[in-house]
Chains A and B, each alone.
Chain A
Amino acid sequence: MAETTLDTPAETHRPRRIKWEAIGDHIILILGALLMMLPPLLALTTASHDAVTIHREGLQLTLGDDLGKNFRAAMFERGGFTQTVDGMLMLMNSFILGIGFAVGKIVISMMAAYAIVYFRLRFATLAFWVIFTTLLLPLEVRILPSYEAIQKLGLTNTYTGLIVPLIASATGTFFFRQFFMSVPEELAEAARIDGAGPWKFFVDILIPLSKTMIAAIFIIMFVFGWNQYLWPTLITTDESFFTLVRGIKQIVLSYTDSQIPEHGQALALAIVAMIPPVLVVVFFQNWFVKGLTESDK
């Protein structure tokens, strides 16, 4: 009457096909990964040799003996023209720039985005377009007048002058605006019924809700700030404000001395300059990817 499973032994036990296609895919991916990894890896191995070897023979494949020496010199020896700067100082400056920029950007753009999205302002649209047009001029294009502005304000060689002008662009505001628009209307309405005013709503509900977004954009902004080159170069002539990225340039450019530039130290610095942003991006991968892909307007 009712059929149920039959335990017929399988007629043929099919051998699994070797998927050549899959092997090819992996090869391409491995090559790609190697391509990406090779330069910094070689930087690491090369940084373990002394300057003379590097100068004469270029990139090294094997690990030498001078890794520790070069790192120590780069980080702890005071160098530069005024003999006041060492790697640690530059590291700290890079951190200040990276974190300062990221935090500043997030705070300011969240507030601005909140103001534009959640309030009945007659000039909200105007404010939006005013902010939007900042996308039109990347910093590099208005570098000269921005420098003049900082000079006139007397903010050269200050952390403020270093960080604040970088915040003058719409990317963060856009990002949060887009996110806030996607938050269900009902949430604000429920908060209103519960008696929460606009500020409480912002602090108690909206900000906690935005945690992942904040993390995501923090990562991107931190890396951006840390890797800043042109602006710090112009604004800070005082060596005690140098960031790592700036410091590397300094070493490489010192061809003017009769001495061979300290390539090993420069490479060590370069590696130190690479590590924090890379660590942040790798360990917080998911947030990072999310931040990147969601920040397309």
Chain B
Amino acid sequence: MAQVTLEGIRKVYPNGFQAVQTTSFTIQDGEFVVLVGPSGCGKSTLLRMIAGLEDITEGVLKIGDRVVNDVDPADRDIAMVFQNYALYPHMTVRKNIGYGLKNRGAPTAEIDAKVEDAAKMLNLSEYLDRKPAQLSGGQRQRVAMGRAVVRDPALFLFDEPLSNLDAKLRNQMRIEIKALQRRLRTTAVYVTHDQVEAMTMADRIIVLIQGRIEQIGTPSEIYHNPASTFVASFMGAPPMNLIEAEVDQQSVRINGFGNQIQAPQSFDGPVTLGIRPEDVEMDEQGQVVFHVDILEELGAHRLLHGRLANQPFSVMLGKDDAAQIGETKINLKPEALRLFDRKTGLRL
């Protein structure tokens, strides 16, 4: 069983800086969990604590049923793929991939076989006798993955593995990594700052900010029901529109305007109203006035950027829908409205 359990985990550095606030969650066996958030949110620190590369200040970490707080990284039955691949420059691809196995005392014949298999799986067979310096970025990345895969560990850890690749390669590798994990069914913890990677690869996403978890959920949950304005604006592209408004019992008044919209909940006071650009309809008799400033042609969609009640607002339309610069009217789909407490940013 390669379930990963964090109970009350906290990380404080000797200088007093708290990188990770007290945190608990469980990753199920075979699950692909993505830790996502902006720089400095603590996601890498969490990953490294799971790996054993950082000490855990407080709390209990279990891999399977075993408490591993004080267990050496090499004994946790994990494999890790680093952002800059961390390949051993002086060893060939073959030796790089096989190194972990060699140290665990596997017989040479077995190591060779496993290395060949991993290489085949990752299209590296013809590069086995080259050194890392002779490979391209994408190839090195795959060697790093080969090194992880060949050990058949209980847990895969990925630390922003695609950040150093160009966009096209990144898209391709995303699919490959996900497919690999699906096939091997190994539990995986993946760290990234790229919300697209999170949304496309994760079974569940953990959104972090400033050392604490903001929300845990499936991509769908995160997308449709963000727990805070931060999650709403960070996840999903284009981001959710966030408009300052006031709620007066059942009515939403958008600041400065008398537009009246039905509120999803009853609450009095300043709020932030959220709605995704695709949940907005163009309607000549619409409730709300929208000034279009810029039209972005994306091929499959069109994105209108402009202002609503003098606040930035975007609307996404289908490729054949009519659109032009200037003033127009829109409808906000009521079931897509999300209300957030403007002071705390939390979902109401």
* B60 beta carbon closer than 8 Å to chain A: yes
A10: chain B residues within 8 A (beta carbon) = 7-8, 10, 22, 58-60
* A6 beta carbon closer than 8 Å to chain B: yes
Determine the main DSSP class of B at the interface with A: strand
* A5 beta carbon closer than 8 Å to chain B: yes
Whether B227 and A8, one on each chain, are in contact in the complex, defined by CB atoms closer than 8 angstroms, is no
* B70 beta carbon closer than 8 Å to chain A: yes
Total number of residue pairs linking A and B with CB closer than 8 Å: 51
Whether A8 and B225, one on each chain, are in contact in the complex, defined by CB atoms closer than 8 angstroms, is no
Contacts A10-B59, A10-B60 known; A3 to B217 CB distance under 8 Å? yes
Q: How far is the CB of B35 from chain A (nearest CB, A)?
A: 14
Whether A8 and B69, one on each chain, are in contact in the complex, defined by CB atoms closer than 8 angstroms, is no
**Bound-complex Cα distance A10 to B214 (A):** 20
- For A7-21 the 0/1 string (1 means CB < 8 A from B) is 111111110010000
**Bound-complex Cα distance A8 to B25 (A):** 10
- Nearest A residue (CB) for B62: A11
- Nearest A residue (CB) for B69: A14
Total count of chain A residues near the partner, CB < 8 A: 15
B213: chain A residues within 8 A (beta carbon) = 3-5
B221: chain A residues within 8 A (beta carbon) = 1-2
* B250 beta carbon closer than 8 Å to chain A: no
**Bound-complex Cα distance A191 to B217 (A):** 56
Whether A13 and B58, one on each chain, are in contact in the complex, defined by CB atoms closer than 8 angstroms, is yes
A5: chain B residues within 8 A (beta carbon) = 21-24, 212-213
- Nearest A residue (CB) for B217: A2
**Bound-complex Cα distance A13 to B7 (A):** 11
B23: chain A residues within 8 A (beta carbon) = 5
Where the two chains meet, the residues of A that have a C-beta atom closer than 8 Å to any C-beta of B are: 1-14, 17
Can you give 25 contacting A-B residue pairs, CB < 8 Å?
A1-B217, A2-B216, A2-B217, A2-B221, A2-B225, A2-B227, A2-B347, A3-B213, A3-B216, A3-B217, A4-B214, A4-B215, A4-B216, A4-B227, A5-B24, A5-B212, A6-B24, A7-B22, A8-B7, A8-B24, A10-B8, A10-B59, A10-B60, A11-B59, A14-B56
